Amino acid sequence: MAGVLRSLRLGEGGDPARACARALGAEGVALSLLVGADRAAEPLWRHPELSARFEELQFTLGEGPGPDSVRTGSPVLEPDLDRVRPERWPALLPLAHEMGVRGVCGFPRAPARRGCGRRGRPQAPFRRRCERAVFARRWRGMIGMARERRLAQIFVEVADSLVEDFDVIDLLHRLSARCVELLDVSAAGILLADAHDELQIIAASDEHTRLLELFALQHDQGPCVECYRTGAARTNIDLRRAEVTTGWPRFAAQARETGYLATHAIPLRLRSRVVGALNLFQTTSHRLGDDDIALAQALADVATIAILQQRTLEQSHVENSQLEYALTSRILIEQVKGVLAERWNTSVDDAFAAFRSYARARHLRLSELATRIIAGDFDTTTIPGPASARPEERHG
C-alpha cells in the first residue's frame, strides 16, 4: 500500500505537497502513512524536506499534533507553538524551536468508509467538501494570525538591534532569513551599491555558492540593477519568459539552471536615496500578492534604515563611509568563510554558521572577528567546528 501511495509523487500532476502547502498558506506539508506493528510514520508527500524530518520526529517521540490527531481522530491545530504549555510536549517543543518550526496542525486521515445518515444513505460528497473547506478556512485564518504575531516579533527584534555600535552585517543576514520565513520565497539577498555604483552582495538567506554567484552576476545586469537605477520595484518576474528577461539573458539563464522560476527586486530606499536592492527568488511560478509585496518593501525599508543609521546621516560622506564599511566587512567575512571551510573540510555554508554562532554567543561583531582572523590575531581552534566537519577537525 505504501509503495502504491508513494508512486503518486511520480505522476505528471506535479508536487502535491507543494500545491497543498500553497493552497493552505502553510510553509510546509507532510503526508505520512502509519505502517507496521509499531505504527511508524512513513512520509509519502512532503514539502520541504524539513516537514518530513519534523513529522518523523513527532511520531518517534510520540508527541505533537500528528500523533495526537491520530490518537483522538480529530484535527489538532497549534499555529503558534510559543503558546503551547511546555508540559504538553516536553521533548518536542525544544527541538521544534531549534528546527525553526513555529506552528503545526495535524489532521488524521482514516481509511475511506461509507458513512450512513439516519436514513441509511451514503454520506454526501458535498458534505465532505464543506468540512474540508471549513478546516482550510480555519487553518488559513490561524496561520494568518500567527504570521502577524511573528511579524510583530521580528520588528521588535529589529528595533532592539538598532542600538549604538550594533552589528549591521549580522542584522542584514537575519533580515534575509526573515524574508524567506515570512514570504512565499525560497531565497533572499541584500545587495548594496559600492563607490563605483555597482551592486555587491552584502547578506543572503543562505551561503550556497550557486546562489551567491547569482547575486554576484547582478553587478552590471539583472532586475536588481534596474530596480536600483530606477528606484522602482520589479516583481513577479517569470524567468522562463524571454521577452521579460531580454535585458539580462545571462542572469536569467543561470537563475533557471539554479532552479529558480521567478524573482523580485525591491529597492532599498530612504526618501529619494536608493542604496541597493532586496532580491527574492522562488522555485515556483506562484505570484506574490500585493500584501506580500508591501511586506517585502517594509523589510527592505528596515534594511535601509539599519545600513544608514549605523552611525549618523548628518553628512553625505558619513553615509558613504558606512556603505563602504559594510561592503568591506562582507569581503572579510567571505575570506574567513573560505579559511574555516578549508580548515574544517566542510561547506562554506556550515563554516559561516559556526563562525556566526561563535561571534553572537560572545557578543562579537562579525566584521571585527573576521578582521582578527585574517590578520592572524585570533586562534581559530577556539571556534567549535560544525557537526559536518570531521571529528578530528572540529576543535582545530
Per-residue pLDDT tens for 31-54? 776 655 555 666 666 777 777 778
Give every CB contact of residue 336 below 8 A, 6+ residues apart in sequence.
355, 369, 370, 373, 374
Give every CB contact of residue 140 below 8 A, 6+ residues apart in sequence.
24, 25
pLDDT at 17: 64
User: Distance between CA atoms of 372 and 395, rounded to whole angstroms?
Assistant: 19
C-alpha cell at 81: 507553538
From 298, 390, 308, 305, select the one nearest 341 (Cα to Cα). Answer: 390
pLDDT tens track for 280-297: 999 988 889 888 898 899
Give every CB contact of residue 184 below 8 A, 6+ residues apart in sequence.
22, 282, 286, 288, 292
Regarding beta strands 273-282 and 187-193, do their DSSP bridges make them parallel or antiparallel, or are they unpaired? antiparallel
User: Distance between CA atoms of 343 and 58, rounded to whole angstroms?
Assistant: 36
User: Distance between CA atoms of 95 and 15, rounded to whole angstroms?
Assistant: 27
Helix or strand or coil: residue 63? coil
pLDDT tens track for 154-211: 777 776 666 656 777 888 888 898 888 888 799 999 998 887 888 888 888 887 767 8
pLDDT tens track for 340-375: 888 888 888 888 888 988 988 888 888 888 888 988
C-alpha cell at 43: 512520509
pLDDT at 84: 87
User: Distance between CA atoms of 388 and 339, rounded to whole angstroms?
Assistant: 16
User: Distance between CA atoms of 127 and 358, rounded to whole angstroms?
Assistant: 55
The class of domain 328-393 in CATH terms is mainly alpha
pLDDT at 25: 61
Question: What residue spans define the domains of the chain?
Answer: 2-110+128-146, 164-310, 328-393
* Number of helices and strands in the chain (H, E): 14, 9
Mean pLDDT (whole number) for 231-246: 93
pLDDT at 226: 92
pTM across the whole model: 0.52
Regarding beta strands 76-78 and 104-106, do their DSSP bridges make them parallel or antiparallel, or are they unpaired? antiparallel
The class of domain 164-310 in CATH terms is alpha beta
DSSP code string of 10-23: GSTT--HHHHHHHH
pLDDT tens track for 296-345: 998 898 888 877 765 444 344 444 555 666 777 778 888 888 888 888 88
Q: Which residue has the higher pLDDT, 124 or 386?
A: 386
CA dihedral 79, 83, 88, 93 (to 10 degrees): 70
Residue whose grid cell is 522602482: 232
Give every CB contact of residue 54 below 8 A, 6+ residues apart in sequence.
28, 30, 96, 99, 101, 104
Question: Which residues are registered as beta bridge partners of 122?
Answer: 116
pLDDT at 122: 40
Query: CA angle, corner 305, sides to 302 and 307, nearest 5?
Result: 110
Residues 356 and 373: beta-carbon distance below 8 Å:
no
User: Distance between CA atoms of 129 and 4, rounded to whole angstroms?
Assistant: 25
Identity at 126, one-letter amino acid code: F
DSSP code string of 235-291: EEEETT-TTTSTT-HHHHHHHHHHT--EEEEEEEEETTEEEEEEEEEESS-PPP-HH
From 374, 385, 391, select the one nearest 336 (Cα to Cα). Answer: 374
User: Distance between CA atoms of 365 and 42, rounded to whole angstroms?
Assistant: 44
Mean pLDDT of the chain: 76
